Structure 1
Amino acid sequence: MKILSSGVLRGPVAGLVGLAAVAGTLGMFGPAAPVAHAATPPPHFADGFGLTVVSQPKWRDGNRRTFTFKVKSDQVPAYSVLPGQVSGEHTVMVTLPAGYDGGAATRYPVNYTLHGAPEYPEAPRNQVITERATKGVPLITVTPNGGSRGWYSNWVNPGALGRQNWETFHLDQLIPLVDANLKTIAGKKGRAVSGHSMGGFGAFLYAEHRPELFSYVGSFSSGLDLNPEMRAAVVGSELMPAYGTPTVAADAIFGSPVWPLDTVWNKQSPAQHIKALRGMGVAMYTGDGGNLTVDPVMAVAENRVRQTALTTAARLRAEGIPYRFADYRDGSAWAKGCNGKHSQQACLQADMNDFVKLIMKRFARS
């Protein structure tokens, strides 16, 4: 494993990518080990900021640290759904620190962590990763619905679905709703954003578009440069039923990906707009796919998103912006069970463990 920080880039990048190579996958794992209980019952949420609460928080299990609730948003009134989802109802998963008391004076920083595609925000492994990484840590974690192919963006041509303003939904509606209903440290000094795969793309996009909202940004195996390979992956996610139904047009999210009609693609490519991250904590995590002949789709997917992280790191270094880059190659030195491939729970757990430590150090200094 190599840990690269502000200025050290080395090692070749090899391999080709197919249309669906940069896809996230659903990992279904068992519940986390029991931990100390938070307050009972879970907090109550009031409507506001353009959101209607259609299902009040319910504990996910007897640990009583993680709950989900559902909202409707006028910014994303309907969306492509995975099995079991209801179009227009957005599940939000929240993990509280042990001992959280809504009636106490103590307030907590928040990490907004964004899921990949196609994935559910409340996927069991997301809960496991979050609860393990934050055990004993005074931190609230929020995982909102980002859609199976939302790409955390305000779409250019949403068509029959109607408005798909995912960025507006999350930044202008959900964040203030969370601050109004939970004991958060509202403001940049108490807020981070991170994500896996599509979610890491969204995290960097949000941090660059609204740097006044976040003090730290993290990417876990994410395509941060909308190069031709990543464009193919996004277009594939629009057209493939595995990413939700109904499918959408190839130009629905960012418009045409072909020059000279690709203006929005260029504006939305995080690697090209890193100047906005100056003064913010920045962290990236990626493997290289390990043996590309083993689980080749996930191996090649990770290999190619690594290239986008290298591009982003080079641009950060050129701008003199400090960053942490955990480039753990085949994963053998990063975490037990991590094989350097895309969407591996052991790798993502180690990524989140490290990121939580980083942001808590930043929050402690704020």
Structure 2
Amino acid sequence: MNTRALTTAVVAGTLASGVFALPEANAAVTPPQFADAFGLTVISQPEWADGSDRTFTFTVTTEEVPAFTVLPGQVSGEHVVMVTLPDGYDPAVAYPVHYTLHGGADYPNTRWLKDAVETSTADEPLITVAPNGGGRGWYTNWVYPGSLGAQNWETFHLEQLIPFIDANLSTIAAKEGRAISGHSMGGYGALTYAERRPDLFAYAASFSGALDLLNQEMRAVVLGTTQLSQWGYPTVAPDAIFGSPIWPLDWNWNQRSPAQHVESLRGMGVALYSGDGGDLTENPIQAVAENRAYQTAVVTSANLTAAGIDHVFVDYGDGSGWAPGCTGKHAQAACLQADLDHFIPLAMASLQHP
């Protein structure tokens, strides 16, 4: 396994959306340097994130997703990846890796995600990687990508990014050294990736994920993401991602629905987290979004139970007993921080680590 030397004394230097000068006293401190590999071309070497001595971002291109619909500040085809190292990262030591997938209409390098990951992994010998999944990538290889060209997000992440990280950082490059999680669209991605490639991951978790694509409301949500510009510009055809949602042409929706394909998770750690939306009259859009995600978690948990597959299902209801500031709504920072804080020790108990 190739590794890159990395000093253990680092200082903050960059914000995810911009670059700031390092303090003069630490001008000699440099982040790791990455080499092209596995179809990924590095176009922006790692830069330390603002206020952190553990987290950096870098940018790659790939022919698997040569262009994508963009959110404000993004450049189509340029994939930002955020990495958080353990305290005192030592390139002579092999560490497990936690891949965490962002939600729809979101970025991999938000300040909230950086802070949440650093908080939940404090004092843990764990590397966390947050890749770009596009505003509406849905962590799948699109059926009809049209003029965008290939939208092979699954291939990019599982066949390119994972071995790329193993080649450029000191990792445990085996299933026993990997976990995957994600929120909302990313929760869908985490479970479908784990199901489709159980050889890669020892633990998988969904935080309020859209897990049941047989649910007609979830299909409507996905179709809505293709048409709403806040999920990326330009918008795309309704059948671009999963194909036609109408029977009998909906085979891909059925095949790609995590709730109905749990068998391959047998022997893997599995954790599901969701609130129920709480008071649906308070912030009703986020409340209903969480309530519908909750329904898909209930179906997935029931299918796991029916199959005799051990799993953890954290139903935190209105959030009042889960974390201060959590009211059971979708994409609430307090709820998601509590999810991560609970999940990381679960994963570490199963992963090989120093």
Q: Mark yes or no: TM-score above 0.5.
A: yes
Q: For the residues of structure 1 that align with 2:180 and 2:52, how far apart are their CA atoms?
A: 25
Q: For the residues of structure 2 that align with 1:365 and 1:131, how far apart are their CA atoms?
A: 18
Letter in 1 for 2:251: T
Q: Is the CA contact 2:125–2:353 (under 8 Å) kept in the aligned structure 1?
A: no
Q: Is the CA contact 1:40–1:64 (under 8 Å) kept in the aligned structure 2?
A: no
**Matched residue, 2:82:** 93
Matching of residues 1-366 of structure 1 within 5 Å: 40-102=29-91, 105-226=92-213, 227-364=215-352
Name the stretch that deviates more: 148-157 or 55-64: 55-64
Q: What's the RMSD between the two structures over aligned residues?
A: 1.5
Letter in 1 for 2:195: E
Q: For the residues of structure 2 that align with 1:181 and 1:278, how far apart are their CA atoms?
A: 31
For residue 41 of structure 2, give the secondary structure of its aligned residue in structure 1.
strand
How many Å apart are 1:40 and its aligned residue? Answer: 4.3
Letter in 2 for 1:156: V
**Cα deviation digits, residues 134-172 of structure 1 (max 9, x gap):** 011110000000000000000000000000000000000
**Cα deviation digits, residues 151-200 of structure 1 (max 9, x gap):** 00000000000000000000000000000000111110000010000001
For residue 285 of structure 1, give the secondary structure of its aligned residue in structure 2.
strand
For residue 46 of structure 2, give the secondary structure of its aligned residue in structure 1.
strand
Q: For the residues of structure 2 that align with 1:316 and 1:238, how far apart are their CA atoms?
A: 30
For residue 67 of structure 1, give the secondary structure of its aligned residue in structure 2.
strand
Q: Is the CA contact 2:184–2:210 (under 8 Å) kept in the aligned structure 1?
A: yes
Q: Percent identity of the aligned residues?
A: 63
Count residues in correspondence: 328
For residue 329 of structure 1, give the secondary structure of its aligned residue in structure 2.
coil
Aligned structure 1 segments of 4 or more residues deviating by more than 3 angstroms:
none
Q: Is the CA contact 2:95–2:353 (under 8 Å) kept in the aligned structure 1?
A: no
How many Å apart are 1:107 and its aligned residue? Answer: 1.1
- Name the CA shift for 1:140/1:40 in 2 (closer, same or farther; >3 Å): farther
For structure 2, which runs of at least 5 residues remain unmatched after alignment?
1-25
**Cα deviation digits, residues 60-83 of structure 1 (max 9, x gap):** 024220000000001000000001
**Matched residue, 2:8:** none
For structure 1, which runs of at least 5 residues remain unmatched after alignment?
1-36
Q: For the residues of structure 2 that align with 1:43 and 1:209, how far apart are their CA atoms?
A: 31
Q: Is the CA contact 2:207–2:336 (under 8 Å) kept in the aligned structure 1?
A: yes
| TM-score, normalised by the number of residues in structure 2 | 0.91
How many Å apart are 1:41 and its aligned residue? Answer: 2.0
